[in-house]
Amino acid sequence: MRKSSRQQFGQSLSIAVVFICTVVLFLLVGVSVKLTLLFMSSSFDGTHQYILSLNSKSNPSELIVYSPQTKSASLVTIHGGNAQGIDVPVDASANVPYIHSIPKLTQNIFAASDKDNMTILDAIRLFLFVNSLNQDSFHYQEITLPLSAVDREKLFSNLFFDNGLYADNESVAVINATGESGIGSKVAHMLTTIGVNVISVTSSDPQATSILTSSHTQSYTAQRIAKLFRVHPQNTGSAGSLSDSTLTIGKDSLERLQ
């Protein structure tokens, strides 16, 4: 009788151990999948330029340009408009109270309830990057719209220039497929501002979604443009195109561009 009871206890214990191990395994798999998705959706890699738009309903709009390559961060306060008004592409945006301090603004991102295209991993990386800088690495600039073409060129030539895009030296063709005139030129202007080599701007029949085709889908240029326009680069091979990449702007990008 005792032997039978011990056997039953042993079998029950084995089943319990197997069950617990199975649950733990599923939990680990779930956590691994979530972490993988988090890393894949992250837009700040800690190495390349990152432009964050900070919007406040009752105060001036602000942009923070995080530049790991030059180990600096610049805060641009925009009076009379926002990032769209100065044709600067942004990697992400968040609504935070107006503060004229890069470290405090970066810290406040954690508490921002309204964030677009930004993960908690991005916020952590930005916080760590800012805290690695000294006070001399923070730069502050105020802009009042509208800007003349001369003032824009003078202010933006270094402020938003991405050395990584310049080093890539990849050519990009822009096709306006939104059905709205002027969008192609606007996008080309935005990309040129950060250092992309735009070689042509044309129009085509309207289409619903934006598409990026590239012969170098893993290049920094292709990846940066893909994240800016929320698309996945499609490989075209190396022949049949005058440009390294072609960005076709669809109607789904209009809300962020107008």
For residue 239, count CB atoms less than 10 angstroms from its CB and return exposed for 0-12, middle for 13-18, buried for 19 or more. Answer: exposed
Q: What's the confidence (pLDDT) of residue 145? A: 84
User: What is the spatial distance between Cα 228 and Cα 56, in angstroms, rounded to a whole number?
Assistant: 21
Paired tokens of 143: 């802009």
* Beta strand 211-214 pairing with 245-249: antiparallel
Q: What is the pLDDT of residue 38?
A: 44
Instruction: In whole angstroms, give the CA distance from residue 240 to residue 236.
Output: 8
Per-residue confidence (pLDDT) for residue 251, from 0 to 100? 94
Residue 132 confidence (pLDDT): 95
pLDDT reported for residue 118: 87
How confident is the prediction along the chain (258 residues), in pLDDT tens digits per residue? 455 666 665 666 677 777 777 777 666 665 555 545 445 556 788 899 999 998 766 567 889 999 999 999 999 998 887 776 788 899 998 988 888 899 999 999 988 878 888 888 999 999 999 999 999 999 999 888 888 888 888 888 788 999 999 899 999 999 999 999 999 999 999 999 999 999 999 999 999 999 999 998 899 999 999 999 989 898 876 555 788 999 999 999 988 887
| Strand-pair partners of 143 | 78
| Distance (Å, whole) CA 138 – CA 203 | 41
Q: What is the DSSP letter of 109?
A: G
For position 125, what pLDDT does the model report? 92
∠ CA 22-35-18 to the nearest 5 degrees? 5
- For residue 71, the model assigns a pLDDT of 94
Would you state the pLDDT for residue 37? 47
What is the SS3 assignment for 226? helix
Query: Which one is the CATH code of 163-257: 3.30.70.2390, 3.20.20.140, 3.50.50.60, 3.40.50.720?
Result: 3.30.70.2390
